[in-house]
Structure 1
Amino acid sequence: MDVLTHFNEQGHAKMVDITGKDVTKRIATARTTVRMDPVTLQRIKQGQIEKGDVLAVAQVAGIMAGKQTAQWIPMCHPLMLTGMNITFSDNDEDTLTIEAEVKTTGKTGVEMEALTAVSAAALTVYDMCKALQKDIVIGPTYLVEKSGGKNGDYRVEDEQ
């Protein structure tokens, strides 16, 4: 079993010490889905949501949130991100897929930043469309892949 490193000798949470870790190129990709009525998705795609361009606002929200992850998640290290891209795709029916790829060169990974980015983007979609539809469903939200670091590469085997 892997040793959990987020606890101190008293059993309390702590920020992991990354002082001795090597600086490596690190990339993480996360994904989430937003399920809604087909009419809502069509209105998003056609720019017919009263609050404005849903995907443009969600993209900016995701990037802003990814950059602020250490302020959202207590034990995350503040990171200097070197790149982030958020993309949107849909199934032409009722599901919007949001994906974030986050990059850094550092001592710890960017998985939390990628997960935070897609979560904030999805929440923004909900916020901008909630007047039209309250029962929008977000998720699953998950790490698709990551590379770099001492634990090596990871890729989800069973797509959600």
Structure 2
Amino acid sequence: MTSPTPQPERLRVAHLNPRVPTPFSLAPDAGRCAAIAAELGLDGLSKLTFEGTIRAEGGEAWALTGRLRARVTQPCVVTLKPVRTTLDEEVERHYSPHVTAPEGDEVEMPDETLEPLGQFIDLAAVMIEELALALPEYPRAEGVEFEAAPEEPAPDTRRPFEGLDKLLRQRDDG
């Protein structure tokens, strides 16, 4: 029995058929999952799959739709105990040659699914970015609650110029 041919992680846009959707399926091996976990600061990444299709969308644009599934382990933000989370996220991206990549600092785009179209669509990069976006920001072990810090009294701001007249008199007298 032969193993399946590995799916390319980058698809050359010129090789995509505009009349037929192109299916894709990525399932990184244990070594690649460990590297991704290290890159994202995870304690573990025991499962990761990214499947979907890329299809032509009006003229020169392309649409990627898919599903990301993962099982991640992160430290609890309170106790540092391992927290396991199962992720199941829908992914949607639209690639257009009429969108330019921002130079230098990142710029907020009005449509977060819109991407500039280059020579390649990097499925691995999309998978890792979507995984990073789907991670819980503050993972907590079951039953753990944050204890609120005691509130400090707010400063009295009802008279912001109180005492200013004294300072002005001292300056004029001095």
Shared fold, TM over 0.5:
no
Q: Which one has the bigger helix percentage?
A: 1
TM-score scaled by length of structure 2:
0.28
